[in-house]
Amino acid sequence: MASITCNLSILLLVSCFGASTARVLSGPDPPDAAVDLNDTSFDAALKTTPASFAVVEFFAHWCPACRNYKPHYEKVARLFNGPDAVHPGIILMARVDCALKTNTKLCDRFSVGHYPMLLWGPPPKFASGGWEPKQDKTEIRAIADGRTAERLLNWINKQMGSSYSLDDEKFENEHHGANASDPGQIARAVYDIEEATSSAFDIILQYKMMKSNTRAPLIRFLQLLVAHHPSKRCRKGSAEILVNFDDLWPSDHLSVNAQESNVSDGKNALKSFHICGKEVPRGYWIFCRGSKNDTRGFSCGLWVLLHSMSVRVEDGESQFAFTTMCDFIHNFFICEECRQHFYEMCSSVSARFSKTQDFVLWLWSAHNVVNERLMKEEASMNTGDPKFPKMIWPPKQMCPSCYRSESKKTNGTIEVDWDRNEVFKFLVGYYGQLLVSSYKDRGLLDGDESVSLADNVLTSANVVAVPIGAALGIAFASCAFGALAWFWRSRQKNRKYFHAHSLKNI
């Protein structure tokens, strides 16, 4: 009887208060997965997305058919967009409200003649042009059969030769980029490098790692990012933080207590800076995505970041890059066992690095040492990623010339006689040319050359210059990143503030 009374009460509530009460009882609607764009954000979003394809819905907010279609569009968008996407980084699902006067020119560019209207094509084609219905040779196409979620997804599957389903669940179906041994996969890793860079600084703020003794190591790492990060927007964002660092976090002549109180203020101020742009972090991984929710991801992205910077430094910068990376991992990597293991490898290096090749090969060798250790641990605990098992890298199929010979040890591991010159050539091509040239092809690298650290810092074993904040703020206000880099270099040569950065102090 009580159950009947309860059910009647619920029905009465719904009948009295309408659909809004029903929504409260069933919980809030999930956030929109499709990305709302306008005339200002459209080109930038389509130009910088890692997705290979885009679907853009042109609609009007006053249109009843558009309102009724939105739940269908969102069902498909949730498969591809946002941190909970099942198949992230493949298709960008976006929408533009043509009823807003600010979007009139944008909607005219794409000859919007009815609502809702769906267009499909490569994102750069949207960013660089428009569409006309009778245009013969164009990569942008109208979707005429997408009036329900099922029909829209079927249309997409036919175009891509895929088998996506509205019932797909995360990490349990088709896995994008499952063959990590395919050299072409590194082409998409730059987006994961941006994700890892942003995540690293979020971790620093979240776990309150900005302390008086970690200020100099962070500045040096920012200098390395400004000079050699593969992503221009990460170089620019790092420069913004570096330029304002003295104002965000004053250091000179302050007591320890005064410094620590300023750390909190600086931390809050730093939250307003987006080191790789406002659209990063995206909340998902592409090249570094694991087949399970708790594998790969950030650690993979951080390794790719370190390798990609190592092949970009010059000979005179190799020692600085080495100590800077070691300091950063020691002070800011949250995994204690991994941090300590990396520190031990850094501390075992007795000679200075004078050549880029020596540093690149040390980092590669250190990564393989880590992989060999994790291979054993994951095998004994059954915690590895079945689709991405740890391996000695690169595998022979990727670089046959890297292998002189190989043999099995008594414990079952493989011992390789490496041709280190060939390994170096492979690493430069893989983490440098392949990654960066693909990024340039997407229009995100506009040909500006990397800033040389040799002009920015003293590469002595004991000291490193730190930046001037106030003066550089004027330079950055010009919005010319090249001018900022040049100005910074010229001022750095005369900078008189130095901080010890020997490995003895990490």
Radius of gyration of the chain (CA): 26
Neighbours of 29 (CB within 10 A): 9
Cis link prior to 394 (omega < 30° from 0)?
yes
Nearest to 435 by CA among 180, 189, 179, 181: 189
Secondary structure letter of residue 31 according to DSSP? P
E strand spans, 18-153: 35-37, 53-59, 91-97, 117-121, 141-142
Secondary structure letter of residue 188 according to DSSP? G
User: How far apart are the C-alpha atoms of 329 and 332, rounded to whole Å?
Assistant: 5
User: How far apart are the C-alpha atoms of 274 and 45, rounded to whole Å?
Assistant: 16
Residue that is written with structure tokens 């029909």 in the block: 151
Cα–Cα distance list, 15 to 3, 403, 482 (Å): 18, 75, 64
| Known active-site residue 63 | yes
| Known active-site residue 479 | no
**Which residues share a beta bridge with 464?**
499
Residue 290 and residue 296 in contact, taking contact as beta carbons nearer than 8 Å: yes
53-59 vs 141-142, strand pairing mode: unpaired
Query: Residue 406: what residue type?
Result: E
User: How far apart are the C-alpha atoms of 384 and 291, rounded to whole Å?
Assistant: 10
Helices and strands of the chain, counted as H and E runs: 20, 9
Given 66, 234, 276, 288, the catalytic residue: 66
Nearest to 122 by CA among 150, 108, 141, 135: 141
Residues with Cβ within 8 Å of residue 412, at least 6 apart in sequence: none
User: How far apart are the C-alpha atoms of 275 and 202, rounded to whole Å?
Assistant: 10
Distance from the first to the final alpha carbon of the chain:
71
In sequence order, what DSSP letters do the residues of 291-356 get, joined into one string?
SSTTSBTHHHHHHHHHHHHHTTS-GGGHHHHHHHHHHHHHHH---HHHHHHHHHHHHT--SPP-SH
Secondary structure letter of residue 448 according to DSSP? P
Given 6, 63, 300, 402, the catalytic residue: 63
Active site residues: 63, 66
